[in-house]
Amino acid sequence: MASFTLHGIPVSRGIAIGRAHLLTPAALDVKHYLVPVEQVEAEVKRLQDAIAEVHRGLQALWTELPKDAPTELGAFIDVHALILSDPMISEAPLDIIRTRHYNAEWALVTQIDELSAQFDEIEDEYLRERKHDIQQVAERVLKVLMGTALSVPPVFSGDDHAPPSMIVVAHDISPADMLAFRDRDGGPRSFIGFVTDVGGQNSHTAIVARSLDIPAAVGMSQASRLIEQDDWVIVDGDAGVVICNPSQLVLEQYRARQAALGKARKRLLKLKKTPAVTKDGTPVKLMANIELPEDCAGALEAGANGVGLFRSEFLFMGRANVLGNALRIPSEDEQFEQYRKAVVAMKGRPVTIRTLDVGADKPLDPTEHTALNPALGLRAIRYCLAEPQLFLTQLRAILRASSYGKVRILIPMLAHAFEIDQTLSMLEQAKLQLREEGVKYDPDVEVGAMIEIPAAALALPMFVKRMDFLSIGTNDLIQYTLAIDRVDYEVAHLYNPLHPAVLMLIAQTIAIGQKAGLDVAVCGEMAGDTKLTRLLLGMGLREFSMHPAQLLSVKQEILNSDLSAITSRTRRILRSYEPDEIAAAVEQLQSL
């Protein structure tokens, strides 16, 4: 068999080597025919029965969910159950059968195609990905209608003594289907990687793959058509590369890399309890970025000093009005319980909770009007100040959680003094309400600003005068500084964290913040990039916040860093405006 390579989007690190197991979309095999008038109601009942059976199946999956399964899986099953109950799925196809006399499968696919077209018009990437959830739910119904089921492959034949593990290859795969690849005792069966034609960084396949720490590559376009059942496949999750039917030489090379990565991980685990201190004795804080309270376990396992960024919007996003259901914002008690869980789980370590970061580019309701330039529209703190009751509810919930441990509040996308003042005023209002109600909270809770807009970085004095700490959100800071939409593939190659303007803004923020006596952290992707660790140390950064999986690698860089040598080199880098010179100098920092 000829070998070939596919390139896609890396979403979960590591290397997986195994045999391909293809999941073929049931929709591709759908028959199209007209039902006689006298059989229409029988066809309606056939679809109703299939929907009911899928409902029972999802309920069974939830009931049998292994105790060690990632929390995201249960949440995704709930989302799929809600979608299945929506009239757009449970009733609209029945009308198509009655009015057009389509067979059940054809009617369902017709309705799903119409819904998918509507979702394609949504600009926000996260919400656009939810189209795949609708398609996955339809897949489950189609499998029941057609009498097929998700099959788990037999033991593969191969040249190894042990049966090789399998790599799931599909156009798309739902989190619920992933559960079919687990043993009854809850342990992993033999799947070790995922490859899908569709999806992006925010797709559910990507989220679950990361939560399971399984190599995955998505956005492969034609993978499910080009790769055949039982093909040997290599998934390079770091590069987003899939190699099908590799030569023996390539196979051996990747096996060697895989073994080396395994040994490196084991070595890194030994650093868990080692303090992050540079060679010259300078301590550095390593914090974790989390989306859900359950992520705290991974943060502690990696030895995090605390949570530097709790992205609270993930508590809201699952409530989105996906198919016309009533929008339901989590109540104050619901939010409080989630924040409290995180604070208690971190056992006295600080938890920095970022207030709701949604808006025109991440609307809670995808049916609402989307701005022409969503990244520049009503989002983050602008959205919260425009929805004062929603914001006040969240501030009250966070304050209530502060009575259980160290909590800090982080405000995203600030640019104006009046935004800071209005935010602090609302916080005081929340405190007053809780005092009047006799509810406990930490009166000295710290409030910080995310520096992610160039205007904020260039007007820091008004921030250091009002705030308790600063956190640099490098993802948006780079995007806004360079006027680049980082999810637009046509300009993504221009997204450069080493652009001299970006480096100048970061270095200036660190210097001014520290001079004013404020803690300054970096919580964007740059914090977890080991190639940039020494550069940030040389700028004076002493607090990094990143995904827990990146923490030990960054700690290793810190332990091997000599600040005296790094600082002088970094000053020279910051004086340079030539891209090649900057890139070469940053690379040289790695050898110091």
| Residue 126 counted as domain residue | no
Binding-site sequence positions for phosphoenolpyruvate:
311, 354, 475-476, 486
Note whether 312 and 252 are same-domain residues.
no
Binding-site sequence positions for Mg(2+):
452, 476
Domain that holds residue 202: 4-24+151-265
Looking at residue 157, the DSSP 8-state letter turns out to be P
| Residue 290 counted as domain residue | yes
Catalytic site residue 244? Answer: no
Note whether 351 and 488 are same-domain residues.
yes
Q: Which residues contact 540 (CB under 8 A, 6 or more apart)?
A: 507, 510, 511, 514
Note whether 242 and 335 are same-domain residues.
no
Tokens (6 digits) for 159: 């040249």
Note whether 217 and 308 are same-domain residues.
no
| Residue 110 counted as domain residue | no
Note whether 170 and 315 are same-domain residues.
no
| Residue 114 counted as domain residue | no
| Residue 82 counted as domain residue | no
pLDDT, block means (10 residues), the chain with 592 residues: 86 87 66 86 94 90 73 76 88 92 89 81 66 84 76 38 68 64 46 83 64 81 88 91 94 93 89 94 96 90 96 72 56 96 97 86 53 79 95 98 98 97 98 97 97 97 96 93 73 84 98 96 90 97 93 95 94 95 94 84
Note whether 304 and 247 are same-domain residues.
no
Q: Which of 244, 296, 384, 523 is catalytic?
A: 523
End of a domain among 230, 265, 300?
265
Note whether 260 and 298 are same-domain residues.
no
Q: How far is CA 301 from CA 150, 322, 548, in A?
A: 35, 35, 8
CA distance 543 to 572: 22
Note whether 251 and 299 are same-domain residues.
no
CA distance 233 to 5: 10
Looking at residue 404, the DSSP 8-state letter turns out to be G
| Residue 246 counted as domain residue | yes
Q: Which of 21, 204, 499, 547 is catalytic?
A: 204
Amino acid at site 384: C
Catalytic site residue 547? Answer: no
The pLDDT value given to residue 133: 81
Q: Which residues contact 120 (CB under 8 A, 6 or more apart)?
A: 128, 131
Note whether 164 and 240 are same-domain residues.
yes
Note whether 442 and 308 are same-domain residues.
yes
Note whether 425 and 537 are same-domain residues.
yes
Number of domains in the chain: 2
| Residue 404 counted as domain residue | yes
| 243: CATH | 3.50.30.10
Binding-site sequence positions:
311, 354, 452, 475-476, 486
The pLDDT value given to residue 212: 67
End of a domain among 243, 265, 287?
265
The pLDDT value given to residue 159: 39
| Residue 421 counted as domain residue | yes
At 247, phi and psi to the nearest 5? -70, 165
End of a domain among 235, 265, 295?
265
Contact 436, 413 (CB under 8 A): no
Note whether 256 and 283 are same-domain residues.
no
> What count of residues does the chain have?
592
Measured at the CA of 73, the angle between CA 19 and CA 165, to 5 degrees, comes to 15
| 340: CATH | 3.20.20.60
Among residues 11, 22, 23, the alpha carbon closest in space to that of 235 is found at: 11
Among residues 238, 217, 184, the alpha carbon closest in space to that of 60 is found at: 184
Contact 289, 545 (CB under 8 A): yes
